[in-house]
Amino acid sequence: MTTGDSWRERRRALLANDPNATRSTQRLLREMGTEDREDDEVEADHRSGRLAAAREYEPHARLDEELRLRLTGPNTEAGALRFQWGDALLDPVEKAVSAAAGTAVQLELTGLSAGSTVIHARPVAVAHPSDDPVLEAPLTSATSTGMQIFTRLLEALETGEDVREWSRLFDSVDAVARALDRYALDLGVTWYDAEGGVRSAQLTERGRHRAARLRDTRPRDQEITISGRITELRESGWVKVKTGTAKNAPAYDVRFEEPGTLLRMRLGLGDNVHFRVRFRQLLDAVGIARTTEYTYLGPAAEQAPLPLDS
């Protein structure tokens, strides 16, 4: 069973050339009163009703999942999609949904709305070997799970909500924001799930600016001592120090700003060392460490290594 076009779109197209449509619509709205619900809720009720009717005849009927991406911006007024937009945007969207789902998600293009910049897509169907039993589809697919989380994060970026719970998705959503910025585009996302649900969100200039601020980092430095045995050594000014003999003992990559300093120390593999180092973390806007590095400052007195906060 397919979702097809939005019932609103079909209705508008049907009445486009009806001179009495406006008057009829106004009269109908006066009779029905004001609909105090979001469009997504109305659309979801409509789809759920269709699904319920279909299940009267086929108890296991499900709606086809569909993703719609609407691009708007100064260069979309002609109602055409440029190839470079799709090349820059579609792969980051798929990766963002995969990151949100916690598993690889594959999407495929199914069409474009005529005269508009709306892209229609769906999850790639998983083929089952003919001799394998086909299990009943799960109520919530991985793609649907990913889309629920992805749209929730977009909403939070747009409204200024706390986004720390989605920190693992920042990089993938940032890639989407960068692609939109490159071509001055806004993105509208609508997800239609198999049970009739509808979720929509957008990533406009406001949300993209917030995503950009999340990229900003600040350094946090502390001086620590690393003691252990050298397991790797490079003339370029880099040494790996393992702090114990167990296989899972912590090991630290220590960088020498002046490679000559390391060469003059005449160290060898297996040597025990005690280094004073600068432990630097680059923290993002929500306090999450994006990168860490250890830089040699000088020799230290022999002592046990200090524990580091993870």
Mean pLDDT value of segment 51-69: 77
Whether the full predicted model's pTM is greater than 0.95, yes or no, is: no
Question: Which tens digit of pLDDT belongs to each residue from 31-43?
Answer: 665 555 566 666 6
Domain count, the chain: 2
Among 172, 187, 215, the domain boundary falls at 215
Minimal CA–CA distance to 66: which of 177, 141, 176? 141
The answer to the question of residue 140 being in a domain is: yes
Query: Are 73 and 188 found together in one domain?
Result: yes
CATH number at residue 267: 2.40.50.140
The segment with the largest mean pLDDT, out of 11-15, 67-71, 304-308, is: 67-71
Query: Are 159 and 43 found together in one domain?
Result: yes
Express as a percent the part of the chain with pLDDT over 70: 77
How far is it, in rounded angstroms, from Cα 238 to Cα 254?
6
The answer to the question of residue 20 being in a domain is: no
| Confidence category of residue 103, pLDDT binned at 50, 70, 90 | very high
Calculate the average pLDDT of the chain: 82
Is the pLDDT at 263 greater than 60? The verdict is: yes
Distances (CA, A) of 266 to 69, 144, 228, 273, 299: 60, 58, 16, 12, 14
| Confidence category of residue 130, pLDDT binned at 50, 70, 90 | low
Host domain of residue 291? 218-299
Instruction: Locate 142 and state its tokens.
Output: 């991985």
Query: Are 55 and 119 found together in one domain?
Result: yes
Query: Are 164 and 184 found together in one domain?
Result: yes
Query: Are 47 and 193 found together in one domain?
Result: yes
Minimal CA–CA distance to 110: which of 90, 92, 96, 95? 90
Residue type, 252: Y
Phi, psi of 77 (to 5 degrees): -65, -25
pLDDT of residue 36: 58
Is the pLDDT at 287 greater than 90? The verdict is: no
Residue type, 1: M
Mean pLDDT value of segment 16-29: 70
| Confidence category of residue 70, pLDDT binned at 50, 70, 90 | very high
**Taking each helix axis from N to C terminus, what angle separates 205-215 and 170-182, rounded to the nearest 10 degrees?**
130
Contact 237, 258 (CB under 8 A): yes
The answer to the question of residue 184 being in a domain is: yes
Query: Are 86 and 174 found together in one domain?
Result: yes
Query: Are 141 and 264 found together in one domain?
Result: no
Mean pLDDT value of segment 74-89: 86
Question: Which tens digit of pLDDT belongs to each residue from 188-205?
Answer: 999 998 888 888 999 999
Question: Which tens digit of pLDDT belongs to each residue from 146-163?
Answer: 999 999 999 999 998 988
Instruction: For Cα atoms 94, 178, 280, give the angle at the middle one, nearest 5 degrees.
Output: 100
Query: Are 256 and 290 found together in one domain?
Result: yes
Is the pLDDT at 1 greater than 70? The verdict is: no
pLDDT of residue 2: 46
pLDDT of residue 215: 81
Query: Are 44 and 102 found together in one domain?
Result: yes
